[in-house]
Structure 1
Amino acid sequence: MPALSGFLWLISYWLIGEVVIYFTGLPVSSGVIGMLLLCATLALYGRVPSSIAAAAQPLIALLAMLIMPGVVGVFFIIGELAGQWTAILIALVAGTLLSVVTTLWLLKRLIGQSYDR
């Protein structure tokens, strides 16, 4: 039952994200808002409860399948992106580099903290 409880928590945060999007009109996915709120809650809580971890683990294994609909959706709007390839390429390269640098910095910082203890 812990996985069911954790899954209900994940769905609840997604629905809270839906409510926030509905009332604010933000041009952001409700899943993103929900996950940001969940992240903030877990940061305040200080750890991930076992029920949420039990629900999230199978979803992480299916991450590629969860992302696939968005990737397939690009196929249908490819004509609208025809004149934007330079901007898309720059965004992809800059985003990838920024992601790698941020991950390496965080990893170095966290590993450094574990050796200091």
Structure 2
Amino acid sequence: MSVLRGFLWLLVFLLLGQATVELFHLPMPSGVIGMLLLTIFFGYRGGMNPDVVHVSQPLIAMLALLIMPGVVEIFFVAGQFADQWIAIVTALIAGTLLSVLSSLLLMRRYLPTSDTPGNPGDE
């Protein structure tokens, strides 16, 4: 029953994402919006639902398989963007750097610090 409740949570937020995209005409995938809403909801609530945690672990293991259709689509539409390669490369570089920077800042903020003597970073 835990798996069913977890999928129901994910489905509800996917549908909320779809409704948000349709309502506000956002140029983003409904799954991304739904996961942002799910993150905001559980962040506000103070923690994850155990059912969602239980059902999401196998999905994370299959993440590459879930992303594959979007990656394959790039090969079919790449010709439409051939004249915009400078903007694409700039967006890729800036996005990668911002992603690494935000990950670093979040890790430094939320990972516990170790105050034990002899730590390599204490010198």
Give yes or no for TM over 0.5: yes
Q: Structure 1 residue runs of 4+, over 6 Å off?
A: none
Report the CA distance between 1:39 and its aligned residue: 0.8
Residue aligned with 1:13, SS: helix
Whichever residue aligns with residue 113 of structure 2, its letter is: Y
State yes or no: 1:10 paired with 2:10: yes
Report the CA distance between 1:54 and its aligned residue: 0.7
The number of residue pairs the alignment matches comes to 115
Q: Aligned equivalents of 1:65 and 1:59: distance in 2?
A: 9
Residue aligned with 1:27, SS: coil
Whichever of the two has the greater Rg, that structure is 2
Q: What fraction of aligned residue pairs are identical, expressed as a percent?
A: 48
Partner of 2:44: 44
Partner of 1:94: 94
Q: Aligned equivalents of 1:92 and 1:24: distance in 2?
A: 26
Partner of 1:115: 113
Q: Aligned equivalents of 1:106 and 1:82: distance in 2?
A: 35
Q: CA RMSD in A?
A: 1.6
Structure 2 residues not aligned, in runs of 5+: 115-123
